[in-house]
Amino acid sequence: MRVVMFGYQTWGHRTLRALLDSEHDVVLVVTHPKSEHAYEKIWSDSVADLAEEHGVPVLIRNRPDDDELFERLKDADPDIIVANNWRTWIPPRIFGLPRHGTLNVHDSLLPKYAGFSPLIWALINGETEVGVTAHMMNDELDAGDIVRQEAVPVGPADTATDLFHKTVDLIAPVTIGALGLIAAGQTEFTKQDRSRASFFHKRSAEDIRIDWSWPAEDLERLVRAQSEPYPSAFTFHRGRRLEILAAVVSAGRYGGTPGRIFYREGEGVVIVAGADARRGRNHGLAVTRVRTEDGRELAATEYFTSMGGYLTSRP
């Protein structure tokens, strides 16, 4: 099939690589300009560079809604558009132009976790598996019929970086497998159960600020979800920003005020956590590694030389 690719960063790069290695003919690539957004500089393999290396024409757009792009797409005469990690709305006259419509490849198990940063949100929320879904695009966000979907388990110590590497390896089989079904003439696919849908926005600094009223189990997952190279979860100690790089849920249960620096347990320093902490029923968050405002990375036991004081959500 003649394919136009809409994609960006490493997800789009991996999709384009799979298409170039397949029997399909990539006739045009549309990608975004480079971004300075913290999350969009992390997995930043260039779709444009890969396309140009293979002699595929490239268009750079923030939004795919201009007449020049529409005319270039008509001239390309695609059988299908494949989109992966395209960051803005694709209008119906674009996604409905090809003979077989547009196949969107999304890094979640739709209908759950439509929208942005699904791996991070899924890890924070304690999901037991994540995956990749190829679905036909329609007027709603990530809501079209599912053509192919594959899942991988979330391990008890997995970070968001681990889940990225697990799921990025699913892109080729999910994308090429879905295109194979479409090329073979299949037109009926799995409807999404919209009652199970959930939607998430882009991550920001507010989303990585630690709230000590959360249960320790949730905070431990937040720390793993914000693993390197993502921006680290942070709090404040004595008015200065402190990044929490590693932590585990405490073995013991600790009562008192959320955020109180309490007790050394194993290799960590326990911070009281949870809205109901004063009853003494909660596990705490045993912080093991931190990074200070001036960039020093330390064992928590070294940083908290005097056990006392509070970690706070604001300076």
pLDDT digits (tens, 9 = 90+) for 162-208: 999 999 999 999 999 999 999 999 999 999 999 999 999 989 989 99
HEC readout, the chain: CEEEEEECHHHHHHHHHHHHCCCCEEEEEEECCCCCCHHHHCCCCCHHHHHHHCCCCEEECCCCCCHHHHHHHHHHCCCEEEEECCCCCCCHHHHCCCCCCEEEEECCCCCCCEECCHHHHHHHCCCCEEEEEEEECCCCCCCCCEEEEEEEECCCCCCHHHHHHHHHCCHHHHHHHHHHHHHCCCCCCECCCHHHCCEECCCCHHHHECCCCCCHHHHHHHHHHCCCCCCCCEEEECCEEEEEEEEEEEEEECCCCCCEEEEEECCEEEECCCCCHHHCCCEEEEEEEEECCCCCEEEHHHHCCCCCCEEECCC
pLDDT of 3 > 80? The answer is: yes
| CA angle at 157 for the pair 155 and 162, rounded to the nearest 5° | 75
CA-CA distances (angstroms) from residue 201 to 29, 118, 277?
A: 26, 9, 30
Distance CA 277, CA 284 (A): 9
Residue 69 tokens read as 């792009």
Q: What is the pLDDT of residue 36?
A: 63
Instruction: Give residue for tokens 């697990």.
Output: 166
Distance CA 71, CA 57 (A): 14
Tens digits of residue pLDDT in 266-306: 999 999 999 988 888 899 999 999 999 999 999 999 999 87
Distance CA 141, CA 129 (A): 22
Domains of the chain, start order: 2-200 (3.40.50.170), 206-312 (3.10.25.10)
Q: Are 28 and 76 in contact (CB under 8 A)?
A: yes
Q: Kindly indicate the confidence band of residue 37, based on its pLDDT and cuts at 50, 70 and 90.
A: low
Report the pLDDT averaged over residues 58-70: 95
Q: Kindly indicate the confidence band of residue 47, based on its pLDDT and cuts at 50, 70 and 90.
A: very high
Q: What is the pLDDT of residue 43?
A: 65
Distance CA 132, CA 308 (A): 45
Q: Kindly indicate the confidence band of residue 38, based on its pLDDT and cuts at 50, 70 and 90.
A: low
Q: What is the pLDDT of residue 263?
A: 87
Residue 301 tokens read as 């036991």
- The whole-chain average pLDDT of the chain stands at 95
**Torsion of the alpha carbons at 100, 106, 109 and 115, rounded to the nearest 10:** -120
Q: Are 130 and 167 in contact (CB under 8 A)?
A: yes
Q: What is the pLDDT of residue 41?
A: 61
Residue 308 tokens read as 């006392």
Q: What is the pLDDT of residue 293?
A: 95
Q: What is the largest CA-CA distance in the chain?
A: 69
Distance, first Cα to last Cα, the chain: 57
Q: Are 117 and 203 in contact (CB under 8 A)?
A: yes
Tens digits of residue pLDDT in 84-128: 999 899 999 999 999 999 999 999 999 999 999 999 999 999 999
Q: What is the pLDDT of residue 189?
A: 98
Amino acid identity of residue 160, one-letter, is: A
Nearest to 214 by CA among 249, 258, 247: 258
Hey, which residues does 209 pair with through a beta bridge?
234
Hey, which residues does 309 pair with through a beta bridge?
none
Q: What is the pLDDT of residue 280?
A: 85
